[in-house]
Structure 1
Amino acid sequence: MATATSRHSDRRISPVFLGIAAVMAVTGWAVWTEFSANLGLAVFLFVTSAWIVSLCLHEYAHARTALHSGDISIGAKGYLTLNPLKYTHALLSIVLPVIFVIMGGIGLPGGAVFIERNRIRGRWRHSLISAVGPLTNLLFALVCTAPFWLGLLDGVPWGFRFALAFLALLQVTAALLNFLPVPGLDGYGVVEPWLSYRIRRQIEPFAPFGLLAVFVFLFIPEVNAVFFDVIRSILDALGVSPVEVACGQDFYRFWQERNDICQAAVTG
């Protein structure tokens, strides 16, 4: 009985996550109804809380897949509660991604659930554990853009439409960056089980610097242009225009002066 009770506690959704989800719901309603006197602040809170929810789901996907692949230690670590405070590197998983969204409007890959890989057998399982995180971001992007590619935008308020477009940008950038086969990112985790032991040992010392190297490369104008061309192509295929994304980011940065075109769309 004690074991069953403990297992249930390990998998009970955290009040912290429920609180963040509640903020997302309330501020999403405020954006939809334009209830808030400051629409930009409502967009900021809605997108930020939704972004944190997606990060929690990203980590949960890793943890849940690891549990079903053989790592039974996952539950005791609190990863199945969706509590962002339980991650081994809350700074990398939550704080830095939010800061990057505020500063640059880019979805920084999070990632910090400690998985005991020695408990897991089979290369496919190892690859799947790494892949499900960014796949969760892609699924989140599909949900955000569903009104766009399903042609269901009639009646959707412009402010909410812009917020979804910007949130979709964050999800797509996070997924694309995380799928890069760079040490330290999930993309490398997908291919690592298929590499020889010698190659893995040679690459291992560079893992802590993989994400940093990616962002250094993104500061190169030519690389940055190619990267965001790919992002724009994906969003365009999902029915989201660059103008909608730009207006979403414009409203998100409520502390800055509003673009006249974006403001006119909302005020009608």
Structure 2
Amino acid sequence: MTYEPVYTRAPRNAFVPSPVFVGIVAVFAVSGFMTWSRFGNVKIDVFLFVISGWIISLCLHEYAHAVTGYFSGDLSVADRGYLRLNPLKYTHPLLSIVLPVIVVILGGIGLPGGAVWVDHRYIRSRLKDSLISAAGPLTNVVLALIVAVPFLAGLAPELSPSVVTAEHLEFWAALALLAFLQVTASLLNFLPIPGLDGGSIISPWFSPAYQRAWNLVAPWGFLLLFLLLWQTQLGSYFFEVVNWLAELIGVPYWLYQLGFELMRFWEAG
């Protein structure tokens, strides 16, 4: 006879950030200072700043899923180490971290990653089920607004495409790129596609038959996303919305494009 594990409380260090996450934050802070001061090869500085910042946001995205699941009834997420912001603890580190980082490097878009695993047997409400899925992209929305604060508050200097010698231009371009990545991640994760957070937000409200059909399609969600964005007109509409939202929070298109060009330090020009 087998018994279901009973989780009554979280391990003592369940909410303590892991050394891995602390190390990533340290790289982000140091590379940010290096980018600001144009230390050494500023393109490498920008690369480290953007990639480490993006990984931090991925960790916070997954943490939001896990902590919402924890307070919704699944205490087992603490036992799996999901509450320590350690990307190595994710169910699929390749999908959660490596693939989104590669896509940023190659295409400059905030591709959603794989999620932490929440045991939905402990979740007794469809609303809580939806909130667990919504917590991740909502975190990206909050991060986009936080990164955009210097632009909205006028802390960034007057920047324009014609002023390429502005003070700390590389830093502001890198920060604009981070804001752009959060905007794209927010929109992509809210798309109602099987396998993505947007699809998981609405699926608890389906009938059991539709849920089974939805779950069968879910493993192909990433492929469907690529087809929609790069093989149909919907991709053009998507990036128009992204650019409009970025402008709305004070981040101009040309600036985050400059950030992307700077990040690709291996390219000439």
What is the TM-score of this pair, normalised by structure 1? Answer: 0.91
1:25 aligns with 2:36: no
State the SS of the aligned residue for 1:9. Answer: coil
Is 1:190 the counterpart of 2:201? The answer is yes
* Among 61, 66, 81, the residue aligned to 2:64: 61
Match for residue 178 of structure 1? 189
Distance 1:175 1:145 in 2: 14
Amino acid at match of 1:98: V
Cα distance, 1:5–1:201 mapped onto 2, change above 3 Å: closer
Moved more, 198-207 or 37-46: 198-207
Q: 1: distance between equivalents of 2:234 and 2:77?
A: 38
Q: 4+ residue runs of structure 1 moved beyond 3 angstroms? A: 3-6
AA of the residue aligned to 2:45: A
The residue number in structure 2 matching 1:135 is 138
The count of residues paired between Structure 1 and Structure 2 equals: 255
Amino acid in the other structure paired with 2:170: G
* Identical-pair percentage: 50
Secondary structure of 1:153's counterpart equals: coil
Quick one: distance in 2 between partners of 1:221 and 1:183?
Answer: 18
Match of residue 223, structure 2, among 206, 212, 232: 212
- 80, 101, 106: which one pairs with 1:103? 106
Cα RMSD, aligned residues only: 1.7
The one-letter code of the counterpart of 1:115 is V
Q: Is the 8 A contact 1:90 1:112 kept in 2?
A: no
Q: Does 1:84 align with 2:95?
A: no
The residue aligned with 1:70 is: 73
1:222 to partner: Cα distance? 2.1
Say which of 232, 239, 256 aligns to 1:245.
Answer: 256
Aligned to 2:172: 161
- Taking the aligned partners of 1:4 and 1:117, their CA distance within structure 2 comes to 17
Superposed displacement of residue 168, structure 1: 1.0
Q: CA deviation at 1:89?
A: 0.3
* Cα drift, residue 117 of structure 1: 0.4
Distance 1:125 1:37 in 2: 49
- Cα separation, 1, equivalents of 2:34 and 2:215: 47
CA contact (8 A) 1:134 1:186 kept: yes
In structure 2, how many angstroms separate the alpha carbons of the residues matched to 1:125 and 1:223? 31
Q: How far did 1:224 drift?
A: 2.0
- CA distance in structure 2 between the aligned counterparts of 1:162 and 1:131, rounded to whole angstroms: 29
* Partner deviation per Cα, 1:156-187 (whole Å, 9 max, x = no partner): 72111100111111111111111111110001
Taking the aligned partners of 1:167 and 1:6, their CA distance within structure 2 comes to: 33
Cα-to-partner distance string for 1:179-220 (whole Å, 9 max, x where unaligned): 111110001111111111111112211100012111122112
Structure 1 position 228, deviation (Å) = 0.6
Q: 5+ residue gaps in structure 1?
A: 259-268
What letter is aligned with 1:237? L
Distance apart, 1:257 and its partner CA = 2.1
Q: In 2 relative to 1, CA 221–123 (structure 1 residues): closer, same or farther, beyond 3 Å?
A: closer
Looking at secondary structure, tell me which structure has more helix per residue.
1
What displacement does 1:41 show? Answer: 0.4
Contact 2:63-2:82 within 8 A present in 1 as well: yes
What CA distance in whole angstroms lies between the structure 2 residues aligned with 1:248 and 1:141?
A: 16
Q: Aligned partners of 1:209, 1:10: CA distance in 2, in Å?
A: 33
2:61 and 2:139 in contact (8 A); partners too: yes
1:266 alignment partner in structure 2: none
Within a 5 Å distance, the mapping from 1:35-54 to structure 2 comes to 36-54=39-57
Q: 228, 231, 234: which is aligned to 1:223?
A: 234
